[in-house]
């Protein structure tokens, strides 16, 4: 079925929807709830914008059929909550999967359990074969019998039941607590906001579509990873989201706001997403114009609010962004759990292949490669700013000729006048050197930061970290002598080739470190077995496999290696943190992907 036909079909269905809604709204049935969350309860017909994930109505129906219809009896609230659940094809309990929660708008409020699946792409797009090939995940779509949020910024007890339902599913299935996402349109958007306020540590990221809330109660959202989409002609959601984002900026949020026509091609929409992501804000706000199809444009009160949903969930780049987000707080809990055997990959200076080391783009790429930690280097500028730089001079990574130019001799403003040397074709590489504060703001909720040379600037680092409330996401690394870590996570480095290695290790272990990096030139080091045994009783062990001799002959994989020969021996030691320049093949090996092991692919 061709794209033009699908779009015409969507428009005609939307026209019927809009006319029927206006007729119903003129005289709502007695006792029926009305409101901004999508209109009154009513029977519904499906609509959708063309999208390659759901290319036609047949695929739409086939995707719906893959959902199970179930019911959850919540003991806390007494609510009986019907829901739809999509379980990934070939579900493997030994692996962990993301979960996407979709909450419907008020227009399908009622007891028909599949109504939330047939109101557009909001639930089904995540379960499509196209999306599942890229992002295998669970999809949860509850069906609410009464409105879950209203224009007075009041939420229903059904939201508490929804959170309890998620916990119940986590007990039944291998759902990754670091990758639970929420999304919804109109009333469902407002419900997502309400959940984020009440349960700020539940979701890794949120996709908020066409809603609003009382701005002054939204402060918990300031440090979260959020994407907002709304129609410029939406008379309530647009000014409502403007007010929320303006308020959140006063609470420390970084916001990128941009505009695009809903009539843009898929390629144009995805390019706009990439442009926005290149600015590295934790909140992205996309405003859509021209959302009303021509067939509805002459109607009185043309429904910008509802028509924006035709585009909202069809933007592939935003869907990809959602799955790239992870919960940094949960990562820190996992990091500090010595009994947790999950391997945590640390992308040294970020995933710098094709871009620049120690840049926000390299951190972003590390997140995309499923790294848990990014070790970074810092240099202090003349005016006291901590810049992400490995070398004390600019000459290797910047366009500088002749004599060395040193970071310590430049203010941050002067440093940012220099451009990075081109390293590959990545068009989204940073234009200027980021500071530690920039890196923390960008990495918040996504990944942990390990400062490799923290002892050189310990006072300044702790000042910045405490001022940003980032105590659970920044690790002081490279420590060879004991210092006052001022309540921050820390990972000392113990050289097992030194005469005093074991005594130093024992002194460090008394301080309950987050982890200990063990260094040894030869894998046959006589102290290694005892050092591993003692450390693993207290915390995690880290190996640096990015260079020769840091962890004996444990090293990154090369093209000539067999993955099991490289990774299995180092994992068998009990070490669970590996600092690497090649996180991609290691990550793929851990996922059991037999076809994509080679570095650089």
CATH number of the domain to which 528 belongs = 3.20.20.190
**DSSP character for 421?**
P
* pLDDT score at 54: 67
In whole angstroms, how far apart are CA 66 and each of 72, 161, 285?
Answer: 19, 24, 32
pLDDT (average), residues 490-508 = 96
Closest CA to 564 of 528, 599, 590: 590
Residue given tokens 């444990």 in the structure block: 554
- Confidence (pLDDT) at 281: 83
pLDDT in tens, 207-240: 999 999 999 999 999 888 999 999 999 999 999 9
More confident residue, 353 or 36: 353
Strand 255-261 relative to strand 283-289: parallel, antiparallel, unpaired? parallel
Check if the beta carbon of residue 148 is closer than 8 Å to that of residue 68.
no
Same domain, 36 and 82: yes
Q: Which of 166, 230, 219 is nearest to 193 (CA)?
A: 219
334's tokens: 């996992």
Indicate whether 598 pLDDT > 60: no
Same domain, 297 and 380: no
**Residue written as token pair 């609509």:** 47
- Output the pLDDT for position 84: 98
Is-contact 369 347, C-beta < 8 A? yes
Residue 297: the pLDDT is 63
* Tens digits of residue pLDDT in 440-460: 988 877 899 999 999 999 999
Helix (H, G, I), strand (E, B) or coil at 221: helix
- For residues 94 and 176, give the distance between their C-alpha atoms in angstroms, rounded to a whole number: 11
How far apart are alpha carbons 272 and 233 in whole angstroms? 20
Lookup: tokens for 250? 């006063």
How many domains does the chain contain in total?
A: 2
514 within 8 A of 539, measured Cβ to Cβ: yes
The average pLDDT across 484-513 equals 94
Residue 414 contacts by C-beta under 8 Å, 6 or more apart in sequence? 382
Domain containing 66 — which CATH number? 3.40.50.1820
Look at residues 446, 314, 303, 305 and name the one whose alpha carbon lies nearest to residue 370: 446
For residue 516, the surrounding DSSP H or E stretch is strand 515-519
Considering the domain architecture, whether residues 371 and 513 belong to the same structural domain is answered as yes
- What is the CA 122 to chain-centroid distance, rounded? 18
Residue that is last in its domain, among 324, 355, 375: 324
* CA-closest candidate to residue 146, choices 99, 213, 82: 82
Q: Reduce the DSSP state of residue 86 to 3 states and report it.
A: strand
Separation of CA 135 from chain center? 13
Residues 338 and 296 in one domain: no
- Cα→Cα distances 100→2, 138, 160, 417, 448, Å: 29, 6, 17, 42, 23
Same domain for 382 and 287: no
Residues 274 and 420 in one domain: no
In this structure, the answer to whether residues 506 and 547 fall within a common structural domain is: yes
Parallel, antiparallel, or unpaired for β 577-580 and 540-544? Answer: parallel
What digits encode the pLDDT tens for the residues 256-274?
999 999 999 989 999 999 9
Residue carrying structure tokens 């998620």: 166
Q: Residue 374 forms beta bridges with which residues?
A: 449
Confidence of residue 355 (pLDDT cuts 50, 70, 90): confident
Q: pLDDT, tens digit, for every residue of 91-128?
A: 999 888 999 999 999 889 999 999 999 888 899 999 99
Residue 156 has pLDDT above 70, yes or no: yes
pLDDT at residue 44, rounded to an integer: 34
Task: Give the pair of three-digit tokens for residue 309.
Answer: 């949903």
Is 176 a domain residue?
A: yes
Q: Is 561 exposed, middle or buried (0-12, 13-18, 19+ CB in 10 A)?
A: middle
Confidence band, pLDDT 50/70/90 cuts, at residue 3: very low
The predicted-structure confidence for 357-384, as pLDDT tens digits, reads as follows: 999 999 988 988 889 999 999 999 999 9
Residues 294 and 361 in one domain: no
Q: Among 324, 358, 392, give the residue marking a domain's end.
A: 324
- Tokens 């640096």 belong to 544
> Residue 177's pLDDT is what?
87
- 599 within some domain: no
Query: CA 484, CA 462: separation in Å to the nearest integer?
Result: 10
Does residue 526 belong to any structural domain of this protein?
A: yes
Pick the range with the lowest mean pLDDT from 22-36, 430-444, 495-509. Answer: 22-36
Write out the residue range of the structural domain in which residue 340 sits: 328-590
Q: Quick one: CA dihedral 492, 493, 496, 499, positive or negative?
A: negative
Distance between CA 262 and CA 260 in Å, rounded?
6
Q: 222 with 351, same domain?
A: no
Per DSSP, helices labelled H in 299-427 are 304-307, 309-312, 316-324, 328-336, 360-368, 412-415
Torsion over CA of 54, 57, 62 and 67, rounded to 10 degrees? 70
Q: Distance between CA 393 and CA 404 in Å, rounded?
A: 6
Residue 338 tokens read as 């010595």
Give the Cα-Cα-Cα angle 395, 397, 400 (nearest 5 degrees).
35
Are 158 and 232 contained in the same domain?
yes
Does any domain span residue 492?
A: yes
Q: Residue 132 in contact with residue 88, Cβ under 8 Å?
A: yes
The pLDDT value given to residue 442: 86
End-of-domain residue from the set 278, 296, 324:
324
124 is a domain residue: yes
Residue 204 inside a domain? The answer is yes
Joined together, the tokens standing for residue 73 give: 């009896």
d(Cα 175, Cα 98) in Å, to the nearest integer?
A: 6
Give the whole-angstrom CA distance, residue 534 versus residue 519: 15
Residue 299, in any domain of the structure: yes
Alpha-carbon torsion angle 466, 469, 471, 476, nearest 10: -50
DSSP secondary structure code for residue 294 in this structure? G
472 band by pLDDT with thresholds 50, 70 and 90: confident
CA separation for the pair 176, 337 (Å, rounded):
16
The answer, yes or no, to whether residue 385 has pLDDT greater than 90, is yes
In a domain, 66, yes or no: yes
The pLDDT value recorded for residue 7 is: 44
Average pLDDT, the chain: 85
Bridge partners for 183 per DSSP = 102, 207
* pLDDT tens, position by position, 388-428: 999 999 999 888 888 999 999 999 999 999 988 877 666 66
CA gap 19, 459 in Å, rounded: 65
Q: What pLDDT score does 513 carry? A: 94
| E strands in 68-212 | 68-73, 80-86, 97-103, 138-142, 175-185, 205-209
pLDDT at 601 over 70: no
CA distances from 281 to 92, 218, 277 (A): 35, 17, 7
pLDDT value at position 428?
A: 62
Residues 353 and 289 in one domain: no
Tokens for 108, please give them. Answer: 């399908």
- The answer to whether 117 and 131 are in contact (CB under 8 A) is no
- Shared-domain flag, residues 269 and 410: no
144 is written with which tokens?
Answer: 């609410």
Question: How close are the terminal C-alpha atoms of the chain, in Å?
Answer: 34
């Amino acid at each position: 079925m061709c794209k033009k036909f699908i779009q015409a079909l969507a428009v005609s269905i939307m026209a019927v929807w809009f006319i029927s809604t206006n007729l119903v709204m003129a005289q709502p049935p007695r006792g029926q709830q009305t409101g901004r969350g999508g209109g009154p309860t009513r029977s519904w017909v499906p609509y959708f914008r063309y999208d390659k994930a759901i290319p036609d109505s047949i695929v739409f129906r086939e995707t719906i059929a893959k959902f199970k219809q179930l019911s959850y009896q919540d003991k806390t609230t007494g609510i009986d909550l019907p829901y739809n659940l999509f379980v990934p094809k070939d579900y493997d309990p030994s692996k962990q999967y993301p979960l996407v929660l979709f909450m419907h708008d008020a227009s399908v409020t009622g007891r028909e359990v599949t109504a939330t699946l047939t109101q557009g792409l909001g639930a089904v797009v995540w379960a499509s074969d196209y999306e599942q090939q890229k992002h295998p995940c669970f999809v949860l779509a509850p069906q609410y019998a009464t409105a879950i949020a209203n224009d007075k910024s009041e939420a229903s007890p059904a939201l508490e039941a929804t959170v309890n339902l998620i916990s119940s599913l986590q007990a039944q299935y291998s759902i990754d607590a670091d990758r639970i996402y929420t999304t919804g349109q109109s009333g469902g958007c407002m419900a997502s906001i309400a959940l984020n306020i009440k349960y700020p540590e539940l979701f890794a990221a949120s996709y908020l579509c066409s809603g609003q809330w009382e701005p002054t109660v939204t402060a918990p959202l300031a440090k979260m990873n959020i994407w907002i989409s709304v129609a410029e002609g939406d008379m309530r959601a647009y000014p409502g989201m403007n007010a929320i984002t303006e308020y959140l900026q006063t609470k420390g949020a970084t916001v990128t706001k941009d505009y695009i026509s809903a009539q843009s091609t898929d390629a144009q929409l995805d390019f706009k997403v990439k442009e926005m992501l290149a600015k590295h804000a934790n909140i992205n706000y996309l405003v859509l114009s021209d959302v009303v199809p021509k067939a509805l444009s002459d109607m009185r009160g043309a429904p910008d609010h509802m028509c924006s949903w035709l585009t909202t969930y069809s933007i592939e780049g935003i869907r990809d962004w959602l799955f790239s987000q992870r919960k940094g707080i949960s990562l820190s809990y996992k990091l500090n759990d010595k009994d947790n055997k999950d391997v945590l990959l640390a992308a040294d200076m970020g995933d710098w292949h094709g871009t620049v080391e120690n840049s926000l783009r390299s951190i972003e790429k590390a997140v995309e490669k499923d790294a848990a930690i990014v070790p970074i280097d810092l240099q202090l500028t003349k005016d006291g700013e901590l810049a992400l730089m490995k070398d004390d001079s600019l000459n290797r990574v910047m366009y500088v000729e002749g004599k060395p130019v040193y970071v310590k001799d430049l203010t941050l403003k002067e440093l940012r006048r220099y451009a990075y040397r081109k390293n590959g074709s990545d068009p989204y590489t940073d234009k200027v050197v980021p500071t530690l504060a920039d890196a923390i703001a960008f990495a918040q909720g996504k990944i942990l930061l390990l400062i490799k040379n923290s002892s050189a600037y310990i006072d300044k680092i702790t000042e910045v970290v405490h001022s940003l409330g980032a105590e659970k996401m920044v690790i002081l690394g490279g420590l060879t002598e004991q210092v006052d870590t001022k309540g921050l996570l820390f990972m000392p480095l113990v050289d097992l080739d030194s005469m005093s290695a074991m005594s130093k290790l024992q002194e460090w272990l008394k301080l309950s470190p987050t982890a200990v990096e063990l260094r040894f030139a030869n894998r046959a080091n006589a102290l290694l077995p005892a050092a591993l045994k003692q450390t693993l009783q207290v915390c995690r062990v880290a190996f640096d496999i990015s260079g020769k001799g840091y962890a004996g002959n444990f090293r990154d994989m090369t093209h000539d290696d067999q993955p099991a020969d490289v990774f299995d021996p180092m994992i068998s030691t009990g070490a669970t943190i590996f600092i690497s320049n090649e996180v991609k093949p290691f990550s793929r090996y851990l996922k059991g992907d037999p076809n994509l092991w080679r570095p650089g692919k």
